[in-house]
Amino acid sequence: MTALLEVHELSAGYGDSDILHGLSLRVDDGELVAVIGPNGAGKSTLLKTLAGLVRPRSGRIALRGADITGAGTRRIVASGLCYVPQEANVFPSLSVWENLTIGAWTAPGASNERARAVVDLFPVLAERRRARAGTLSGGERQMLAMAMALMVEPRLLLLDEPSAGLAPALQRLVFDRVREINARGLGILLVEQNARESLALCQRAYVLAMGRVRAEGAGGALRDDPEIRRLYLGG
Amino acid sequence: MPPIAQYVFNGVVTGGILALPAVAFSLLWRLLRFPNFAVSTYLTVGAYVALVLNHGVRASIELAWLGALVVTGALALLVDRIAFRPMRDRRPFSLAIASIGVAFVLENVVRFVWGNDFRSYDVPVTRGMSVAGLRIGRDQLLILGVAVVLMALAQAFLLRTRLGIAMRATADNPRLAAVKGVPTERVIALATLGGGGLAGGAGVFLGLDASIDPLMGGGLIISVFAAAILGGIGSAPGALAGALIVGIMEEVGMLVVPPTYKTAIGFTIILAVLLVRPTGLAGARS
Ligand SMILES: Nc1ncnc2c1ncn2[C@@H]1O[C@H](COP(=O)(O)OP(=O)(O)OP(=O)(O)O)[C@@H](O)[C@H]1O
Ligand SMILES: [Mg+2]
């Protein structure tokens, strides 16, 4: 079976320095895969490279068998891969509704119906549809960022630390939504600081350190691995 | 001596003209994150394009105005491709300096081809009206009307159209816009074309209201700058309000300071805004 996303020996970085060193991973259709690892491991760089913001130096990225290595952001989003950045993931001076409009840029037809479906998932956005995104709370902003990505009905969602900086109750809400989106059949590649929560949530996970995959396996197995616990889960 | 109301009226007309380059300057600043000082020189370019059409091929002034709009817009796009696009990722300071270089080159090309003389369009002479003691030219009313309509169109475009929303999104965060699939370079090209066109059209207005010379646009840069930051960078209605205030203050200021110090009024406004309310009239965006 072709994987939804197949990354083979990927190297990428900024300027002259490589951050990712020959990294390989895969996400299957409808799978929720977590990526954990210490600060500066290259998790965000990985997602940026997959989204087309950072050019791969070598290696191969394939989405449902189609080679998208080095493709531009437009082609990537049009082929079903949607990226939600860690920071600055909404347009602050645009209203919530306008943000959703931009989210649907590559698939403008029927965007009203899709907006309604997306808002069903995040009811708070309906109440605040006219508010400028810059005035939203941290939780609302994160919901909007995810909602924008869902506006094009992607096959694969890349989420960069969706729970960062949120109060525990909101974190739980975000993780619930991630689970629900995944239950609808979307593949998700989830980068998280909150390693315990994401290992519990995912089907498989990769542990990243210094731009390389250090371990991979089922979420539960990694969580119970004493070595991983000691290094990445704080004992 | 004419009554103060006459100065205010003249200031409103000047402000209406000034509003067009001020909006262009303000939106391009927000989109590309540098003050493009060539914008005011596009007024000169537009004025001379219309002059060539009006004198050379005897085009009516309306047709010449349209020609100026199109040609100046296209020139602004060409300048962006040659000068600014290769520098997109540079610091705003470098880009601002580059724009001063562009202004210098354009101004001197105009000077080389047409010389330093003051010129004017061949237009039928219209009698001015006298309303409540004010001298009001038909041209002035027309200029004001067209300027207001253009501003309203620009605002409607930005607020109501998909492309307008994409333009504001690109101004907010170009990388995120690109990730969402917005063709950001095409959005920038459209804004450059539109901004250049508005400035070129304003140049013809200025030529009709006053006269045409190679320094006419460049000399306005302080006023344009003042209007834009008074209105708040990136706000079209703000730039209109800012331009009206600057226009009126510069005209009324002639009652107290000699005309050679006109520029000083613009400078004073810039300083006052930066000290008192750096975000401008339109508030806390940026
Ligand atoms: N735009 C950039 N230019 C240069 N270096 C960068 C840039 N962004 C990140 N880096 C560097 O790349 C390395 C990996 O950063 P990255 O953001 O991918 O880590 P991360 O795993 O997401 O960390 P965190 O958990 O803190 O989010 C770091 O050393 C960082 O300093
Ligand atoms: Mg990160």
Query: DSSP characters for B199-230?
Result: HHHHHHHHHHHS-B-TTTTGGGHHHHHHHHHH
- Quick: pLDDT tens for A18-49: 999 999 999 999 999 999 999 999 999 999 99
Nearest CA in chain A to B172: A91
Nearest CA in chain A to B285: A93
Question: Which domains, ranges and CATH numbers included, belong to chain B?
Answer: 3-276 (1.10.3470)
Question: Which of A126, A10, A34, A148 has its CA nearest to residue B176?
Answer: A148
Contact A74 B173 (CB under 8 A): no
Pick from B162, B172, B181: CB nearest A94:
B172
As a whole number, mean pLDDT of residues B104-118 equals 96
Residue percentage of chain B with pLDDT more than 90? 77
Residue B131, SS3 per DSSP = strand
Backbone angles phi and psi of A9, in degrees to 5: 50, 50
pLDDT reading at B135 higher than 90: no
Which chain A residues have a beta carbon less than 8 Å from that of B163? none
- Quick: pLDDT tens for A204-229: 999 999 999 999 999 888 888 888 88
Q: Is residue B32 classed exposed, middle or buried when 0-12, 13-18 and 19+ CB atoms within 10 A define those classes?
A: buried
- Quick: pLDDT tens for B65-86: 999 999 999 999 999 999 999 9
- Looking at residue A227, its pLDDT comes to 81
CB A195 near ligand 1, within 6 Å? no
Pick from A91, A101, A108: CB nearest B173:
A91
Please tell me the distance from the alpha carbon of residue B137 to that of residue A106, in angstroms, as a whole number: 50
Span from the CA of B262 to the centroid of ligand 2 (angstroms): 53
Please tell me the distance from the alpha carbon of residue A214 to that of residue B285, in angstroms, as a whole number: 44
pTM (predicted TM-score)? 0.92
* A148/B contact by beta carbon, under 8 A: yes
Query: Atom of ligand 1 at shortest distance to CA of A46?
Result: 18
> How many interface pairs between A and B have CB atoms less than 8 angstroms apart?
59
Contact B182 A105 (CB under 8 A): yes
Q: Is residue B140 classed exposed, middle or buried when 0-12, 13-18 and 19+ CB atoms within 10 A define those classes?
A: buried
Please tell me the distance from the alpha carbon of residue A163 to that of residue A193, in angstroms, as a whole number: 8
- Looking at residue B286, its pLDDT comes to 41
Residues 6+ apart with CB under 8 A from A69: A56, A59, A60, A61, A62
- Looking at residue B282, its pLDDT comes to 73
Which residues of B fall below an 8 Å CB-CB distance to A? 162, 165-166, 168-169, 171-173, 175-183, 285
Q: Which ligand is nearest to the CA of A42?
A: 1
ipTM topping 0.85: yes
- Quick: pLDDT tens for B162-200: 999 999 999 999 999 999 999 999 999 999 999 999 999
- Looking at residue A235, its pLDDT comes to 55
DSSP type of residue A68: -
- DSSP strand pairing (A56-63 vs A66-67): antiparallel
Residue percentage of chain B with pLDDT more than 70? 98
Asked if B181 contacts A78 with a C-beta cutoff of 8 angstroms, the reply is yes
Model confidence at B285, in pLDDT bands (50, 70, 90)? very low
